[in-house]
């Protein structure tokens, strides 16, 4: 007797994602009544019949068209696994995506997606600054593989993207993908997703957005026309600094191609990490809301401090165009910011970082704990100094990922550390007598 295959779960009408994170895509009767899905720590899955095995493999390798309403049968954990399937169903809800694919890291999601969607002789246009690993991939590895790349300053207007795309087209290396990280890391500069996507589509290209810094709670790129959304799920989606993972979301057609490359490249997430992410998604809104409220208060406090020259935070925008973009595509500022110490360079930044307590001196972001780091010498160390200066990364810049501690304790810790920094403060001009 042939086993009945589970139908793809349908999202109940009128129920919000934070409620569905507790149960969507899983029923206790599937696993001996367990309220939470177990970890399916297995490499392979048994078929009921040889015919079933043939059918599953024909779907897995694109040899036969599959009914998109039915989930793929289980074969091998490099292709699919129940924990990954449940996780992908729940991730779809936040971004209202047709499909998603989870990966062993954020960089695995980005690199696999790029290789799946862009061919040799086709170009990628990207905004800068971006995360340091992404920058290295775009600046060094992809060009060596025959995929040219061109950078554009984060926040650039559509005309700039259009000019670069036209130049690439005339050079015989047409743009196939525009990649945007917004807000940019670490300057938090915003780029207009809808306008950039419009340019991409007019040149026959796709638009992909790294949405890690705001997460699906405060920005939903697919709703603004983007074709692909990418996350380092290590950050806010995971939220506990105990798992490394990545996600790509988009249309069924696009994700099917990305998943094929994921299968062959072996960049699949493991079942235990998927289980940890399922746990984390249940509290994502609570964690991100608390961190965002803390960050808003801390950013205002830093902006008023005499030893802080500037705070980079979407909640403290001054430029009119940046405010317009924020109001059009963001519903909150997130919890990551950078700030420049007044009249400071690397020595003063290091004084601050070595003096700060309570917060951990570590890279990454989006965890329950607050983290501080020095972008110029750490996360963006591979970017040459002159290029760092051009994209707004200075030796006196510190990046702060705000966690869910009590905000008064965080402010006290920042205040004490700033007191240890020996910088010359600008004196106000004397008032004529």
pLDDT in tens, 239-249: 999 999 999 99
Structure confidence at residue 356 (pLDDT): 96
Beta-strand pair 206-210/175-181? parallel
Other C-beta atoms lying within 10 Å of the C-beta of residue 27: 11
Residue 244 sits at φ, ψ, to 5 deg, of: -115, 125
Give pLDDT tens digits for 44-62.
999 999 999 998 888 888 7
| Backbone region of residue 32 per phi and psi (left: phi > 0; alpha: psi in -120 to 50; beta: other values) | left
> Residue with structure tokens 């700030």?
339
Grouping H, G, I as helix, E, B as strand and the rest as coil, residue 290 is helix
Going from the C-alpha of 270 to that of each of 80, 216, 275, the distances in angstroms are 10, 23, 9
Confirm if 428 and 396 have CB atoms less than 8 A apart. no
Cα separation of 268 and 270, whole Å? 6
Lateral strand order in the sheet of 228-232 = 99-103, 246-250, 228-232, 206-210, 175-181, 123-128, 149-153
Mean pLDDT of the chain: 93
DSSP H or E run through 415: helix 407-419
What domains does the chain contain, in order, with CATH numbers?
82-281 (3.40.640.10), 284-419 (3.90.1150.10)
pLDDT digits (tens, 9 = 90+) for 333-379: 999 999 999 999 999 999 999 999 999 999 999 999 999 999 999 99
pTM, 2 dp:
0.91
| Exposure of 96 in the CB half-sphere (CA atoms within 13 A) | 12
Taking only the tens place, the pLDDT of each residue in 56-80 is 888 888 788 877 666 778 998 898 8
């Amino acid at each position: 007797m042939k086993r009945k295959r589970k139908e793809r779960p349908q999202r109940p009408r009128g129920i919000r994602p934070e409620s569905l994170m507790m149960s969507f895509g899983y029923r206790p009767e599937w696993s001996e009544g367990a309220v939470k899905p177990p970890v399916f720590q297995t490499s392979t899955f048994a078929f009921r019949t040889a015919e079933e095995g043939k059918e599953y493999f024909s779907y897995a390798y694109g040899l036969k068209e599959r009914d998109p309403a039915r989930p793929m049968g289980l074969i091998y954990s490099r292709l699919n696994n129940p924990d990954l399937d449940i996780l992908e169903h729940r991730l779809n809800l936040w971004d209202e995506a047709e499909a998603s694919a989870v990966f062993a890291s954020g960089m695995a999601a980005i690199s696999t997606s790029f290789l799946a969607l862009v061919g040799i002789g086709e170009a990628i246009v990207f905004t800068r600054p971006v995360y340091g690993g992404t920058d290295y991939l775009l600046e060094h590895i992809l060009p060596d593989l025959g995929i040219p790349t061109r950078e554009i300053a984060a926040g650039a207007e559509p005309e700039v993207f259009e000019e670069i795309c036209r130049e690439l087209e005339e050079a015989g290396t047409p743009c196939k993908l525009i990649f945007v990280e917004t807000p940019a890391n670490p300057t938090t500069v915003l780029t207009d997703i809808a306008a950039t996507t419009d340019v991409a589509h007019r040149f026959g290209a796709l638009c992909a957005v790294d949405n890690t810094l705001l997460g699906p709670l405060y920005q939903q790129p697919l709703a603004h026309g983007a074709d692909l959304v990418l996350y380092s799920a290590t950050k806010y989606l995971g939220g506990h600094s105990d798992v490394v993972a990545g996600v790509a979301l988009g249309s069924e057609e696009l994700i099917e191609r990305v998943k094929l490359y994921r299968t062959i490249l072996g960049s699949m997430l493991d079942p235990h990490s998927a289980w940890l992410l399922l746990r984390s998604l249940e509290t994502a809104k609570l964690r991100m809301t608390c961190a965002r409220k803390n960050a808003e208060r801390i950013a205002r406090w830093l902006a008023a401090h005499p030893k802080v020259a500037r705070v980079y935070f979407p909640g403290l925008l001054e430029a009119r165009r940046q405010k317009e973009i924020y109001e059009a595509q963001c519903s909150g500022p997130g919890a990551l910011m950078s700030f420049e110490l007044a009249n400071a360079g690397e020595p003063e930044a290091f004084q601050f970082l070595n003096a700060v307590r309570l917060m951990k001196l570590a890279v990454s972001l989006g965890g329950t704990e607050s983290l501080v780091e020095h972008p110029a010498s750490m996360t963006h160390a591979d970017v040459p100094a002159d290029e760092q200066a051009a994209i707004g990364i200075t030796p006196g810049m510190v990046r702060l990922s705000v966690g869910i501690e009590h905000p008064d304790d965080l402010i006290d810790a920042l205040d004490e550390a700033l007191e240890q920094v020996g910088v010359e403060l600008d004196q106000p001009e004397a008032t004529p007598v």
